[in-house]
Structure 1
Amino acid sequence: MSATATAVVTGGSAGIGLQICQDLLDRGYEVISLALEESPLRHGRLTSIAVDLSDIEATREAAATVAERGPTTIICNAGVTRSALLEEVTLDDLDDLVNLYFASTILLAQACLPAMKAAQFGRIVMISSRAAVGLATRTVYTATKSGLIGLARTWALELGPAGITVNVVAPGPVPTQMFTDVVPTGSERERKLIESLPVRRLGTPADIARAVLYFADPLNGFVTGQTLFVCGGASVGYLQI
């Protein structure tokens, strides 16, 4: 990997995104983190930009700044969950997640596409969720996370001739802040969840980052339009959180 290769990671300041940033740095990438908060990592090849990616205009500005660096790898990892039964779902929540998952991904891809096409190389990896196959209380989350899978399949068809692959990683339960807000660490709910998983453990950010780095690897240019569930088997069985 050339030290000049540049990757953009959304939600790079914590959890899975933080691990992805660290792994990319370890592989010699220049890394740009876009997140609500500045990254806690300190590294000469890391640039941290604080931005609310659910704000379309703020995202548009950040994307233009990022594009000046000519990145050829985009990891769309930023995420939040909005839990509610159908009766309590709000369209404000839907709008926020559409902006976060769809609008920010589209704007970043559009901004970086010229550099990718000029290089005849690109890697776009989107982080979906095991919830994409259905999960109670996750109406807007499931809808938008499953939409990323369709987006990736469409872009794979469009961008493949330019040497650009587009793939999805769909994590299962990983004890990030977003997860523990719903399932507290050490709780009975967590215990029952672990017992329901075929592998009998929760995932780790490193589990997910390894899958992301597989799709991002320049040598893996014959894989595109695919979704990899890294979920401890939760996507083939019943999961209740």
Structure 2
Amino acid sequence: MKTTLITGGNSGIGAAIGDRLRARGERVVSLGLEKPTTENDTLFGYTADLTDAAATAQVAAQIAADHTIDAVVHNAGAILPNLLPDADPDDILKLAQLHLAAPMALTQAVLPGMIARGFGRILFITSRASMGMPTRSAYSATKAGVHGMMRTWALELAPKGITANVIAPGPVLTENFWGIVPKDGELQEKIANGVPVRRIGTPEDIANAAGFFLDDNASFVTGQVLYVCGGTSLGGLPS
């Protein structure tokens, strides 16, 4: 039975991916600021603040000791929106730790086992905003950086049977989204109307794509960015 580590696995996109994997008989290790409300023999919870490098290293070692991890989904993220005049350079450092350094530490901890077994799946959840979006200086920069890191890992790990890919969602109805856009308000409707498919995505839309990348049969797909975005990667979004 495969076991997948999911950061930010307690809610939103991470929880939807975990539900999909468990429905097909796999185990999930959820890592976030809080544990899942229930744990059982297919769902295990750990907590850590991934913006804290020391805490990340500690929990990475603990998870690697407790579980045989076959796949890693780096989903945890934060936005910290500001227009350029108000942007704080420290936000770039904070999000670089969360979006880049934390995934590196977690993957390094479980990588020896993947290499020994000749199998592994690494999947990052980034954002269509990696292509640029107003108020997203720190977020766009670090999410775009993930794409470069993923491609590097894909090249390094391909001979070892390990794939590395990215899903870059467009707007998705999660607490992160509603933390910026009032729920069910006029701006949400405006954004939905600006999406070519005329709706905002759901966590399940992203989980559908994740299920493909994490499958055993996806061994010939690595180093790719898939925009699950309703067509918004073809143009801008209303802001």
Structure 2 residue identity aligned to 1:78: A
- C-alpha deviation, 1:191, in angstroms: 1.2
Counterpart position of 2:84: 86
Structure 2 residue identity aligned to 1:96: K
Does structure 1 retain, via aligned residues, the 8 Å contact 2:48–2:59? Answer: yes
Counterpart position of 2:173: 175
Quick one: which of 140, 148, 151 aligns to 1:150?
148
Give the 5 Å matches for 1:1-16: 3=1, 5-16=2-13
Deviations 1:134-190 (A, max 9, x none): 101100000001111111111000000000000000011111011011111221111
Paired with 1:40 and 1:202, the residues of 2 have a C-alpha distance of 27
Counterpart position of 2:106: 108
- C-alpha deviation, 1:40, in angstroms: 2.6
Give the 5 Å matches for 1:87-236: 87-236=85-234
Structure 1 residue identity aligned to 2:160: A
- C-alpha deviation, 1:41, in angstroms: 4.2
Cα RMSD (Å) of the superposition? 1.0
Paired with 2:31 and 2:39, the residues of 1 have a C-alpha distance of 15
- C-alpha deviation, 1:127, in angstroms: 0.5
SS in 2 for 1:219: helix
Deviations 1:60-102 (A, max 9, x none): 0111011121202000000111100111111221111011011
SS in 1 for 2:218: coil
Quick one: which of 34, 37, 54 aligns to 2:34?
37
SS in 2 for 1:198: coil
Q: 1:232 to 1:41 in 2, by over 3 A?
A: farther
Counterpart position of 1:75: 73
TM-score, reference length from structure 1: 0.96
Does structure 2 retain, via aligned residues, the 8 Å contact 1:135–1:240? Answer: no
Paired with 1:108 and 1:204, the residues of 2 have a C-alpha distance of 27
Paired with 1:85 and 1:126, the residues of 2 have a C-alpha distance of 26
Structure 2 residue identity aligned to 1:53: L
Mind listing any 5+ residue stretches in structure 2 that lack a counterpart?
A: none
- C-alpha deviation, 1:11, in angstroms: 0.1
SS in 2 for 1:70: coil
Does structure 1 retain, via aligned residues, the 8 Å contact 2:39–2:45? Answer: no
Structure 2 residue identity aligned to 1:34: L
Mind listing any 5+ residue stretches in structure 1 that lack a counterpart?
A: none
TM-score, reference length from structure 2: 0.97
Does structure 1 retain, via aligned residues, the 8 Å contact 2:173–2:201? Answer: yes
Paired with 1:152 and 1:93, the residues of 2 have a C-alpha distance of 22
Paired with 2:69 and 2:80, the residues of 1 have a C-alpha distance of 31
SS in 2 for 1:95: helix
Paired with 2:84 and 2:98, the residues of 1 have a C-alpha distance of 21
1:25 aligns with 2:22: yes
Paired with 2:91 and 2:38, the residues of 1 have a C-alpha distance of 30
Paired with 2:125 and 2:183, the residues of 1 have a C-alpha distance of 23
Structure 2 residue identity aligned to 1:135: M
